[in-house]
Amino acid sequence: MADLVNVDYNTSIPNNVNLADDRRVLKALEKWHPGYLNWWNNMGPDGFQESLVYLRTAVSVDPKGWAKFGYVKMPEYRWGVLLAPQEEGRTIPCGEHAGQPAWQEVPGEYRALLRRLIVIQGDTEPASVEQQRHLGKTAPSLYDMRNLFQVNVEEGRHLWAMVYLLQKYFGADGREEADQLLYRQSGNEDHPRMLGAFNEATPDWLSFFMFTYFTDRDGKMQLEALAQSGFDPLSRTCRFMLTEEAHHMFVGETGVGRTIQRTCEVMKESGITDPYDVNRIRALGVIDLPTIQKKANMHYSLSLDLFGSEISTNAANAFHAGIKGRYKESKLEDDHKLDNDTYPVLRLIDGKVVVSNEPALSAINMRLRDDYVKDAAGGVNRWNNILKKEGIDFEITLPHVAFHRHQGEFSAIHADPEGNLISADEWAKRRDDWLPSKADGDFMDSLMKPQWEPGKYAGWISPPKVGIDNKPGDFEYVKIAGAALNS
Amino acid sequence: MNALVKQHLIDPEICIRCYTCEEHCPVDAITHDDNNVVVDVSKCNFCMDCISPCPTGSIDNWRIVATPYTLEEQFEWMELPAQEDGLEAGTDGGGSLEALEDEVGALLARAHEGTGGKPIAPASASKPSVNLFNRAKPARAVVQGNFRLTDAAAENDVRHIILSLGDQVFPVLEGQSVGVVVPGTDDAGKPHQPRLYSISSARDGEKPNANNIALTVKREPGGLASNYLCDLEKGAEIEITGPFGGTFLMPNDPAANIIMICTGTGSAPFRAFTERRRRTSPNASGRMHLYFGARRPEELPYFGPLKKVPESLLHQELCFSRVDGAAKEYVQDRMRKRADQLVPLLNDGNTHIFICGLKGMETGVDEALSDVCRGAGLDWASLKPLMRQSGRYHVETY
């Protein structure tokens, strides 16, 4: 019998789905593989493909084996197909088929819907690698560089995860979609990535941290919803991806936290108590707290857009079909059908922001977004605890959900961070108070100088409290090859 | 006062509340409220399933406590309390806690005396688990095999004993020891003191993922524990305690050079080191050098298997002191002859020295290292403490 926990490294593609006996899919993936490597080499981390990076690789999907650490060159990373173990007797958790055995094959009537969901999820994975490809060169430490690359290779693996589902369950259409995932490129004018937030380059490391904190958290919530899918292979894929996604949340939360920590320390050393004394603080080579707030405003609002319209027929259909559940669906106590329920949705009605009770089925996106907002608020509290502990009078806040939106209810209006509706003129005047300006960007650029000496950190960020894999402070997380230094 | 307990705790300042640990815990020992993720001391069985999935390292915290922290206390924390003074000062900084039981701690302290100061674990060693099992609550091990390692004609009887831990969680690292509890009582009617034996298998098992360990035991004339162990038959069940030892540990860094100097059953931990590297990084840039002394080849444990270990993995210097017609040669003699090999290693900040065997070998080896250093313009007297303080010099002798 095939071993479905330990990873099979005997086929060209590491996997725990018994590819050795699934020649058709193995062949399809082998055919896709060179294109993937080509994509990684051309669009992956720029200048570090020869470096030895201290990365974790899964050798099995059980807790003992899924994080083995060692030095590896990124193009030689063992990307593979890893699904969480199948749960005996799992049933469809929601919608009209709730309680029936989970699907092991694609149900015909939901084929197009499922394919669309998988393609959208799959498109975000390589997109973020593309967005972040230039960051290695300005890494504030080898520790941070390693974390960036870990995020990158795992996003690459998540692409593999989605491509496996496409190749295995969607025939010729799936193959075509798998190729398209490598063809579209972040920010490309002719063939961009599917979602707006994934077509902007990540300009600096604070943006990267904010992106992993806010935008990858959208990814986490989408994976949580797909992990509740009645289509079992998708559920199992997403469950394992979530284990990896936790590291991305970690990079974001601690990256922003360490930036705040350093700013506080430098302010105190220099006797600055006013967080709005921006010029003096910047002159000390750290990022002022108001700029950190602006970055948070930016990435939070762009990430909210990723949840789509508050009221959505597509989302209702996916839930009703049992293709996509709610956050922690299996732990919720209701009928899991929502046919007669309502859910409070913040809407723009007659020019006012009001709470309106809407059919719960239509409000599935809204509900997932609410869970996201709660999840995102937790880490913001912990950032504020740092400020409190350091005795700096400043609080990071999440702006109102109507602020700076391009999707859904509030896309046509302007609101300030408190959610007050304002005119376009007022917005234009105040925009740079709330979102990073060109000048803020120039300042950030000026700070982005590499610090590649083991154990050293750029002046704007504190060292982490513990190393990766319990490594000591001066551990050489990336052994940079000569090529990177010269390129 | 209650017995001391090693309690598993989560650092709330580092944890990001992803609940991955909670999802993975097989005994539901981990739970959370709106503030913190916490571990229930009454449920945690140290299986370590939560350690590697944690993205932050916040899960890997331990405190020696007289009264364990309750869930309610942990929910209130804004930061992790420091290790309480006086219970065990060594839990922070390099995992230097060797044992929780005084008598075992004393045995190890004596064994490590030759280090010349406070032993410090190699920087790249994994964090050890210590004393998960004690005499009040021993682990039960079943003998899977008991093989004589020395030639049938040799007068000394050294054995390779494989113990299965079944479904008990008994995580070990190369260099750690276990305590063997011989049944019965001594002449005064007291239970026998545990005896310590180095584990000679790699952390993932004598056979990978089989949850077993191997010991290397020499039968001592009149020795209580060694005769007990050497006489064990396949299928017999024994009680063991541990694991013990938090400093004499293998460095994980593949770039670490490891000089291993031993006699007799002192080779046990080095068999584990070698096997670990063979399994994980056979092409490591760090070199492994073994200086191994015995009276005759037929008395050298693992002499046969060692011949099959390639030079690329392990450089071997085997020396014999009682071969007819040949001059006596001890490990220290061979070290002097190999000064040209040793000097570059001693000059390298990645080099670790491990010495294991009988107490009697310490002086000779120390003098040899002195001589080798002197010949190259190095000063062993000042290099040794430097190496010790950076976790690169280790002695375990009995």
Q: How many residues make up chain A in this entry?
A: 487
Backbone phi, psi, residue B197, to 5°: -130, 130
Q: Which CATH superfamily is domain B139-244 in?
A: Translation factors (2.40.30.10)
Q: What is the pLDDT of residues A267-280, one digit of tens each?
A: 999 999 999 999 99
The closest alpha carbon to B356, from B220, B221, B245, belongs to B245
Given this model, what pLDDT does residue A162 score? 96
**Which residue among B13, B17, B254 sits closest to A378, beta carbon to beta carbon?**
B17
Give the residue-averaged pLDDT of B339-347. Answer: 95
Of all helices (H) and strands (E), which one includes residue A40? Answer: helix A23-43
Q: In this model, does residue B238 exceed pLDDT 90?
A: yes
**CATH of A19-486 given 1.10.10.410, 3.50.50.60, 2.60.40.10, 1.10.620.20:** 1.10.620.20
Residues facing A344 on adjacent strands: A357
pLDDT number for residue B167: 86
Chain A CA closest to residue B16? A250
Q: Nearest-CA distance from B313 to chain A in Å? A: 18
Q: What is the pLDDT of residues B3-48, one digit of tens each?
A: 677 889 999 999 999 999 998 898 999 999 989 999 999 888 888 8
What three-state secondary structure class fits B375? helix
C-alpha gyration radius of chain B: 22
- Is residue B162 within 8 A of residue B214, CB to CB? The reply is yes
Q: In a 3-state reduction of DSSP, which class is residue A285?
A: coil
Confidence of residue B2 (pLDDT cuts 50, 70, 90): very low
Write down the pLDDT at residue B86.
62
Q: What is the DSSP string of A240-263?
A: HHHHHHHHHHHHHHHHHHHHHHHH
Q: Measured between beta carbons, which residues in chain B are less than 8 angstroms from residue A59?
A: none
State the pLDDT confidence band at B88, using cuts at 50, 70 and 90. Answer: low
- Strands B212-218 and A68-73 turn out to be unpaired
Contact B50 A63 (CB under 8 A): yes
* Chain A residues touching B14 at Cβ < 8 A: 254, 465-466
Q: What whole-number distance in Å separates Cα of residue A83 and Cα of residue A58?
A: 11
Look at residue B89 in the predicted model and tell me its pLDDT.
Answer: 39
Paired with A429 in beta bridges are none
Asked if A250 and B16 come within 8 Å (Cβ–Cβ), the reply is: yes
A284 alpha carbon, distance to own chain's centre: 32
B386 lies within 8 A of chain A by CB:
no
Sequence-distant (≥ 6) Cβ neighbours of residue B360 within 8 angstroms: none
CA–CA gap between residue B356 and residue B175 (Å, rounded): 10
Q: Is A377 on the interface with B (CB under 8 A)?
A: no
User: What is the enclosing helix (H) or strand (E) of A414?
Assistant: strand A414-415
Nearest CA in chain B to A472: B123
Query: Which spans in B123-241 are helix H?
Result: 224-230
Q: Which residues in chain A have Cβ-Cβ distances shorter than 8 Å to B16?
A: 246, 249-250, 253-254, 379, 382
SS3 A70: strand
Q: How many CB atoms lie within 10 A of CB B321?
A: 16
CA distances from B137 to B48, B106, B242 (A): 19, 20, 10
DSSP assignment of B69-96, as one string?
Answer: PPHHHHHH-SSPPPPPTTT-GGGSSS--
Q: What is the pLDDT of residue A223?
A: 95
Q: For A399, left (φ over 0), alpha (ψ -120 to 50), or beta?
A: beta
Nearest residue of B to residue A386 by CA position? B13
Find the mean pLDDT for residues B280-294: 93
CATH architecture of B257-397: 3-Layer(aba) Sandwich (3.40)
In 3D, which of A217, A201, A294, A286 has the Cα closest to residue A252?
A: A217
- Which residues fall within 8 angstroms of residue B369, CB to CB, at 6 or more apart? B335, B342, B346, B353, B380, B384
At B93 the pLDDT is 37
Give residues with Cβ within 8 angstroms of B160, minimum separation 6.
B145, B146, B147, B148, B149, B200, B214, B215, B216, B301, B302
H helices of B352-393, in order, are 361-375, 380-389
- Sort residue A426 into left (φ over 0), alpha (ψ -120 to 50) or beta: alpha
Phi and psi torsions of B44, nearest 5°? -60, 125
- pLDDT < 50 positions in chain A: 1-2, 483, 486-487
**Residue A203, preceding bond cis, omega within 30 degrees?**
no
Task: Report how far residue B357's alpha carbon sits from residue A371's, in angstroms, rounded to the nearest whole number.
Answer: 60
CATH C-level class of B1-80: alpha beta
Which residues of chain B lie closer than 8 angstroms to A467, CB-CB? Answer: 57
> Would you kindly state where each structural domain of chain B is located, as residue ranges?
1-80, 139-244, 257-397
Relative to beta strand B177-181, strand B195-198 is antiparallel
- Cβ neighbors of B303 (< 8 A, separation 6 or more) are B149, B294, B297, B318
Give the distance from CA A125 to its chain's centroid.
8
ipTM of this predicted structure: 0.85
Contact (CB<8Å) A63/B280: no
Give the closest residue to B157 by CA, choosing from B102, B247, B201, B221.
B221
Burial of residue B322, with CB atoms counted within 10 A of its CB: 0-12 exposed, 13-18 middle, 19 or more buried: exposed
pLDDT of amino acid B53: 86
d(C-alpha A470, C-alpha B60), whole Å: 9
